[in-house]
Structure formats: C-alpha cells, structure tokens
Structure 1
Amino acid sequence: MELVEQLRRNLKETLRFIKERVTGTVDIGIILGSGLGGLVDEVENAKSFTYDELPHFPRPTTEGHFGNLVIGTLAGKRVAVMQGRFHYYEGYTSAGISYPVRVLHGLGVKTMIVTCAAGGLNRDFSQGDIMAIRDHINMMPANPLVGANDNEIGPRFLDMTEAYKSEYLTLAHRVSEAEGIPLKEGVYVGLLGPAYETPAEIKYYSTMADAVGMSTVPEVLIARHAGLDVLGFAVITNVSGGQHKVSHEEVITAAQKSSESLIRLIIKVLEKM
C-alpha cells in the first residue's frame, strides 16, 4: 500500500497547485491526440498550465503533443483539456500514463472525452473519417490497473461491459446527423508501438477491430476505474492495408485536416450533454 499512499500524496500536491489558481470544479475532461490540439483555442476564460509546471506530472515527448492542461469553459461546460498525452512507447510506466486521468478525476470530472489518431483497419473507412469508439481491445503488454488497488477510487476487479457510454454514442450520432458531419463507429485496438503494424498484423487485427492506435485504452481503463463516463473519437489517418509506408508526419497532417470537423462535433455534443 506504500505506492497507493505515495500516489495519494502526489495527487494532493498536484490538485492543490491547480486549485490555488483555478476556482470551481470541472465537469468534463478532454484528452487530445496527435494533431488534434486545436480544440484548446475554443476554450473561453482559459487558464493554461504547462505540464512542466504541474507537480508530479509527466512530460510528453511525442511530436504533435504540446503538453498543456487548459481549464475553462467550452459550450457552456467547465472543461479541463489535456493538450497532449502519454504512451507506453515513450517509456512511461502505468503510473505515469494514468496520473493525468487521476488528476482530472480529482478536479471533479465525471465525464471524459478521448480523441486519438488511428490507422484504419475497416476497408470501408477513408483517410479523414471520424470514428466514434464503440469498444476497444487491449493488445498492449500492460494494464494500468495492475498493482496495489486504491479502493477509495475504484474496485479491484473492474467491469468493462460498457467502457464507452452507449448514451453518448447515440448522442454523437444524433449530433453528427444534425450538423452534417459524417461519423463512423467501430472498435479500436490499442497496441504498444512505436513501430507501425506489418501487413500481416494489419490483416490479423482487421478481423477483430476497425481502427488501430497506440493510446487511449490505458486512459479509458483508469477513467472507468474512477467511475467516469467515457466518449471516444478516433480520426482515421491512413487506410493502407500495409501496402504503403506510414510516417508520423503523415498521421499528424491527416489528423489536422480533420480536426475542424471533430472540434465542431465535440462542441455540439457538449452543448447537448
């Protein structure tokens, strides 16, 4: 339980730092993936913290992840937006990856929206499509809930029957139709990375999922452990079937091209929540 006590102390220090500078609770936490950081420009009355200045907060090393926590108002809701996330392939432990979500929970967040860039496995998808995540498959070699459990936060054995809130999925589709924003739906498979998938791996994973990426799953596990409701979106940045080379620059560029539509969709969904 020593690790649990250390986590509690660290969280207390981080939350105290933030709450001394920002008043009130936060309704919704938003995590922005590669090339999708532009949403923070829409936040009103924003107070921004770099991850460097937040006690015990990890630092992102991946291009396209700026490393800011922005708290303010968006679509009439109090939000905390993480402009940049953390990945196992950067060398972070489960504790490091999960820490920001624990902080969001400590700020009062009850709902979390996660976004990510992902490769398309479903051949009906095209580059630039937005996919609402219906469910996920964890193919990473770790689970952030392994180790000592803090029973004050959540249960030892977590039910994942509804990892992504079905009510929010329905809302997202309703909003997308009203706004004329095409929206796919599917299963996301999370891998360790940082190598992209081989053609054989793509063929294998396409039998079970619609999109593949290197994030999101650990954050959703931690969020659900803390009782947060989750809505997830993946921007499909390439659908190659392993037939051409993929680069991180391509992923960022493709995500940025679709970011305007995703930002509009998120704002309209927030208005209806």
Structure 2
Amino acid sequence: MLNDDNLLQALEAAQNYMEERLGGFAPEAGLILGSGLGPFADAMENPVVVPFGDVPFMGVSTAAGHKGRFMAGAVGGKAILAMQGRLHGYEGFNAQEVAFPVWLMARLGARVLVTTNAAGALNRSYHVGDFCVMADHINLTGRNPLTGTAPNTMAPRFLPMLDAYSPALRRQLLSLAQQLDVRVQEGVYLGLLGPSFETPAEIRAFAALGADTVAMSVCEEVIAARHAQMEVLGLSLVSNMACGIEGANPSDDEVHEVAATRILDFGRLITAFFQQLEI
C-alpha cells in the first residue's frame, strides 16, 4: 500500500519504470479520461500502452468502464500521456494513491494536466450532454493528498489554490467550443468521496454553496497537479441532472449512455485544444 512513508521511493520507482517502458517518449501534457470518455484514447496512433497494474506502487482501476491503463502518443501534434480511467477514493484508494499518477506525469515531464469526468448538474440552466469547464472547485471529499510529511519534501505543503484551474486554458477551451459549435458551460465543480449518489437534500445544500456540477473525482488530482506546478484544465460532461432536479434519479448506466452520444464532440474539442496549446 502506498503511504506517506514510501511515497518518494514509490514515485522514483514508478518514474524509472515508465521511462524504460516509454523508450524516450516525454509527455508534454497529461490527460485523465473519466467515465465514458476513455474511448477517445483508442484513436491515438501507435500508442505505447502500460496497464496501471504494471507500474510499481500503482493502484488498479475497479470502476466500470475504466480500462485502467496509460496510453502514450500524439494528440493534436502534442506528446500526451493519457489515462484510460482513474483511481477513485470510493474504490478504497487513499488520497496519495489517487494523486500518485498525477505526480508521476509531472515527473515524466508533463507541464499541463487536462482532467475530465462525468458529472451531475445542479445548475438548472445546464442540459444533459453539455460540457462544463471547471472555473473552481469545492472539495468535500474530506481528504487532501498533501497530508503528511512526504509531499512537503517535494514542494511546500501550504499550496495556494487561487486560479487552480488556469484562466488562460479555460478561455482557450471556451473559444474553441464556440468555433466548433460545441455547447460548453463554465462553473464550479463540487467533489465528493462517493460511491453513493447524492440525496436531494444534499443537492440543495451544494447548490446553496455555489456548486454547478457534482461528481466523485478530480479534486485530489488537481491539488496534486498544482503542487507539482502543472497548469490545469478541468472539463466535465454533464451526464445527468443531479438527484431531485426535474425528478432526476441518477444511475451509472445513464452516465455511460450519455457519454457514448458525446464522445465525437469531446474528441473534436480536446484534439483542437491540444493543437492550439502552447507548451
């Protein structure tokens, strides 16, 4: 099990292993593909594929639809290390285990992280099938990967989170969405531990806090990315209205069904984003 005592040793071992497997490939950016969005990476030409379970100290995905592997290749002319699936706290992973692949991406050279997921909408002006750029987040997981002493030896633990989601990258994505005629919102994301979906009372409380979308990932990844001085873009697919809104009662099947209808627009948007990205 990864913990504060072996974190630095684990990252060094994982970095050495990945560098050997990637054979000189140095990623410029990392891409985390959330629920239903993993098929995007299948379009990579001649990718190097590394299952999570092959990487020293790395956890293995158990969530439905998460293949649990790295894919290294080109997207939009940039060298991208993509994750088909992620690690969640609700799978039993601690905060540092969830953050581990992000710290690893940074050590391999990635300076930008694009993290994506499927989320429920609290904002009643949103529609199922919209994408939403994260302007900020509310971390209600009750966890932080910087807890302990090991992260403090990598970078200061008291990490400022102003503009955690890069304003420049958000503007770029929103401009591209307008050009490509892809409906994209911008709002505040709220992250929970899960795995149960939220109650109607919780959704009303979260809306009062200022959240526009809600899901069970992202926050710990973003904290780790900013800790590693990566620029971050967060993008959600609105796969459902949140529980109790317009009679919604979310299910995991619904998430994947909606993603299947939006994967082409997602691919156009992300490819254009990397084509335009200056690193």
User: TM-score band, normalised by the shorter chain?
Assistant: over 0.9
Matches within 5 A, 1:86-101: 86-101=87-102
In the alignment, is the contact (CA less than 8 A) between 2:203 and 2:242 conserved in 1?
Answer: no
Q: Deviations over 1:182-237 (max 9, x none)?
A: 11110000011111111111111122110000000100000001100000100001
Partner of 2:227: 225
Query: Is residue 128 of structure 1 aligned with residue 129 of structure 2?
Result: yes
Partner of 1:212: 214
Partner of 1:188: 189
Letter aligned with residue 92 of structure 1 = F
Q: CA deviation at 1:241?
A: 4.7
Query: Is residue 175 of structure 1 aligned with residue 204 of structure 2?
Result: no
- CA–CA distance in 2 between the matches of 1:11 and 1:192? 24
Matches within 5 A, 1:10-25: 10-22=10-22, 23-25=24-26
Matches within 5 A, 1:1-273: 6-22=6-22, 23-207=24-208, 208-242=210-244, 243-273=247-277
Q: Deviations over 1:153-192 (max 9, x none)?
A: 3212000001100000110111111111111110000011
- CA–CA distance in 2 between the matches of 1:191 and 1:108? 29
- CA–CA distance in 2 between the matches of 1:72 and 1:57? 21
Gaps of 5+ in 2: none
Q: CA deviation at 1:73?
A: 1.0
- CA–CA distance in 1 between the matches of 2:220 and 2:267? 23
**1:158 match: secondary structure:** coil
**2:182 match: secondary structure:** coil
Letter aligned with residue 272 of structure 1 = Q
Q: Deviations over 1:10-30 (max 9, x none)?
A: 112212112112213210000
Gaps of 5+ in 1: none
Q: CA deviation at 1:245?
A: 2.3
Tell me how large the CA RMSD over aligned residues is: 1.4
- CA–CA distance in 2 between the matches of 1:111 and 1:18? 18
- CA–CA distance in 2 between the matches of 1:21 and 1:31? 19
Letter aligned with residue 61 of structure 2 = P
Letter aligned with residue 271 of structure 1 = Q
TM-score, normalised with respect to structure 1: 0.95
- CA–CA distance in 2 between the matches of 1:225 and 1:109? 13
Structure 1 residues 201 and 169: CA distance shift in structure 2, 3 A: same
TM-score, normalised with respect to structure 2: 0.93
- CA–CA distance in 1 between the matches of 2:15 and 2:148? 23
Q: Which moved more, 1:98-107 or 1:249-258?
A: 249-258
In the alignment, is the contact (CA less than 8 A) between 1:203 and 1:241 conserved in 2?
Answer: no
- CA–CA distance in 2 between the matches of 1:132 and 1:17? 33
- CA–CA distance in 2 between the matches of 1:116 and 1:12? 28
- CA–CA distance in 2 between the matches of 1:49 and 1:24? 13
- CA–CA distance in 2 between the matches of 1:237 and 1:4? 35
Q: Deviations over 1:109-145 (max 9, x none)?
A: 1000000000000000111110011100001111111
Q: How many residues align?
A: 271
- CA–CA distance in 2 between the matches of 1:147 and 1:129? 38
Moved segments of 4+, more than 6 Å:
none
**1:140 match: secondary structure:** coil
